[in-house]
Copies of this chain bind each other. A is one copy, B any other.
Amino acid sequence: MTEIELNPTVKRFVLHWGEMGTRWGINRTVAQIHALLYLSERPLHAEEIAQALSVARSNVSGSLRELQGWGIVRVVHVLGDRRDHFESLTDVWEMFRIIVEERKRREVDPTVSMLRGCLQEPPAKESKYVHARLSEMTEFFETMLSFYEDARHVSPKALRQFVKMRAGMSLLIPKKGKAK
């Protein structure tokens, strides 16, 4: 009812984050709730969130469930309060890692399965050309996956350092002469 007015900076971030969500296939409200929790110093309960964003309580409920499914929001309890409270991870790198991992699991892995399935087909049946394109696509995904797999076995700390190391890439390119 009574609009709990958000700090303008928070509002700006929340709205933008919501838009970004939609562009990457994430429900707007889900993204907004995540943004709100990310900027909230203390855990919030569903009712507060509903008021802050002017959405229905039930909508918040489902969205929180989804965020928990992603593993970037968790429920906590406040002494003397029966309600569930929610907080976001604060470590941006860790959130990024989790999101990448989830999207791999939900979207990339099934795509690779599909591609392998397509290549299974008697190669006479479909044209040579189709088979060639699908092979290239599969190889691309598999290369990316094994790169990712390697990266995953490096400690998060070391990985951060690697990414942060300016000019890191250019030093690392294989062998002779300067890459051009």
Contacts and interface: CB of A to CB of B under 8 A. Distances in A.
B9 A134 contact: yes
The size class of the interface chain A forms with chain B is 35 or more
B129 A41 contact: yes
A6 to B, nearest CB: 10
Number of copies: 2
A102 B146 CA distance: 25
**Secondary structure of the A side of the interface?**
helix
Contact of A25 (B12, B24, B147, B168): B24
Contacts of A139: 92
A134 B39 contact: yes
A165 to B, nearest CB: 7
Nearest to A22: B25
Contacts of A136: 90, 92
A111 to B, nearest CB: 6
14 contacts: A8-B126, A9-B134, A13-B114, A13-B134, A20-B111, A22-B25, A23-B25, A25-B25, A150-B170, A153-B180, A154-B173, A154-B180, A161-B173, A162-B169
Interface of A: 7-10, 12-13, 16, 20, 22-25, 38-39, 41, 90, 92-93, 96, 106-107, 111, 114-115, 117-118, 121, 125-127, 129-130, 133-134, 136-137, 139-140, 143-144, 146-147, 150-151, 153-155, 158-159, 161-170, 172-174, 179-180
